[in-house]
Amino acid sequence: MNDPTNSPETRFVHAGSDPARQGGYVNPPVYRASTALYRDTAEMAASQADPLKRGTPVYGRFGTPTGRAFEQALTELEGGHASVLTCSGLSAITTAILAYVRAGDHILVSDSVYLPTRKFCDSLAALGVETEYYDPRAGGAAIEDLIRPRTRLLYLESPGSTTFEVQDVPALTTACRARGVTTIADNTWATPAFFRPMALGGGADAGVDVVVHSATKYLTGHADSILGAIVCSQESYPTVRAAAIRLGQCAGADDAYLGLRGLRTLGVRMARHHEQGLELARWTAGQEGVAAVLHPGLPGDPGHALWRRDFTGAAGLFGVELHPDFGRAAVDAMLDRLRLFGLGHSYGGYESLVVPADPVSHRLPGTWAGRGPLIRVHVGFESLTDLKEDLSAAFEALRC
Ligand SMILES: *Cc1c(COP(=O)(O)O)cnc(C)c1O
């Protein structure tokens, strides 16, 4: 099934699938596992000699066949070499970063990253690792200027959390590769359906070294699991896998199963999120009280050209900046008026959600120009007519 010439829709359905390995059944069983028994001491010794080797059963913490099936599918979809599952998206991020940094190192992290990623990077100061945040709009030359002899990593997330800046990923990876700096990308928003940062146009050289995912979001797709994944290049895999083993990272077989099941419908779900999200973003931009809509798929968006160049679609998640005269109470009244849009964290499921966002509290001066209150919208699979009605009523509540 591992045929890279297949179109993406086909790959979502068949990636990593091997019914013959599981008695002919289409889906793999859920291996709830801690202990695996060896045939004899020779097999035990062989497996302990090389804990990086996959395939032979060792112990549930090192992975199960269910997890392996999800890893293989995701690896294939991202164009990587191998993947490591973790218990959450955040643990995938912290594990990938900890795999590389040592005391005295300097790391470059986009100013627009997911806030818990930022808090983790700030905490690395206690281990002697210095984090420098860079403007997500930085090009290759600006990044070259920031690279120091002890720069170990460049971390990116495109588009950025809550403010949705699109990064020039090939420019950044090219600058970093020339200086021996490892690159890690959070690809939770786009998923491999719309962006493959490891398999960018210019061949292996243009791609990032490591892709991290909150599989909790679109990959699983049904708001019923917390799961993380790290997709690695051939070179980065031993480093990342060794760190995951050291840190005790693993994912339960039930969650891995849900991740794999979600992947099978990722193509159709993302196509629908794209369509509905883009239409609702367009419509929202025309509503009274809205100062700006932050969605790279909109032609007026600052990231639109890069998005068109590198992405094949947009997730259902975007930002809405309201007019600066609206205060907290008005925004709360608006959010409380929503009936279909749930007020809650996360995204990527079938349902529509909103959450207030506050980038100003932690951004570098100058990298975020918005002035009004910001909300983040996730567009699910409800009817657009119903969603627009729900939002219309909420915008009315905002204005009174
Ligand atoms: C949600 C999210 C994470 C963290 O994922 P969890 O599975 O909740 O730990 C990381 N990165 C991005 C971009 C996210 O949206």
How does pLDDT run across 269-299, given as a tens digit for each residue? 999 999 999 999 999 999 999 999 999 999 9
**Hey, what are 44's tokens?**
């035990």
* 345 CA closest ligand 1 atom index: 1
Task: Check pocket membership of 226 for ligand 1, CB cut-off 6 A.
Answer: yes
Of 229, 234, 200, the closest CA to residue 215 belongs to 229
Its pTM stands at 0.96
Residue 351's pLDDT band (cuts 50, 70, 90): very high
Q: How far apart are CA 274 and CA 315, in angstroms?
A: 5
Residue 362's pLDDT is 85
Q: Could you tell me where the DSSP H helices lie in 84-236? A: 89-98, 115-123, 140-146, 169-178, 191-194
* 188 CA closest ligand 1 atom index: 13
Give the domain ranges of the chain: 4-264, 266-399
Instruction: Specify which residues 157 forms β-bridges with.
Output: 186
Positive or negative: CA dihedral 217, 373, 392, 397: positive
Find out whether 77 and 36 touch, Cβ atoms under 8 Å: no
Q: How far is the centre of ligand 1, averaged over its atoms, from the C-alpha of 230 (Å)?
A: 12
Dmax of the chain from CA atoms?
Answer: 76
Task: Check pocket membership of 114 for ligand 1, CB cut-off 6 A.
Answer: yes
Task: Check pocket membership of 111 for ligand 1, CB cut-off 6 A.
Answer: no
Question: Which of 164, 166, 188 most suits a substitution to test ligand 1, by most atoms within 8 Å of the C-beta?
Answer: 188
Number of other residues whose CB lies within 10 A of the CB of residue 218: 27
Question: What is the CA angle 248-262-208, rounded to 5?
Answer: 60
| 390 belongs to the catalytic site | no
- Cis before 159? omega within 30: yes
In sequence order, what DSSP letters do the residues of 222-283 get, joined into one string?
A: SS----EEEEE-TTTHHHHHHHHHHHT----HHHHHHHHHHHHTHHHHHHHHHHHHHHHHHH
Task: Check pocket membership of 188 for ligand 1, CB cut-off 6 A.
Answer: yes
Indicate if the pLDDT at residue 2 is higher than 60. no
CATH class of 266-399: alpha beta
Q: How far is the centre of ligand 1, averaged over its atoms, from the C-alpha of 90 (Å)?
A: 6
How does pLDDT run across 148-163, given as a tens digit for each residue? 999 999 999 999 999 9
CATH class of 4-264: alpha beta
Q: How far is the centre of ligand 1, averaged over its atoms, from the C-alpha of 260 (Å)?
A: 18
Task: Check pocket membership of 110 for ligand 1, CB cut-off 6 A.
Answer: no
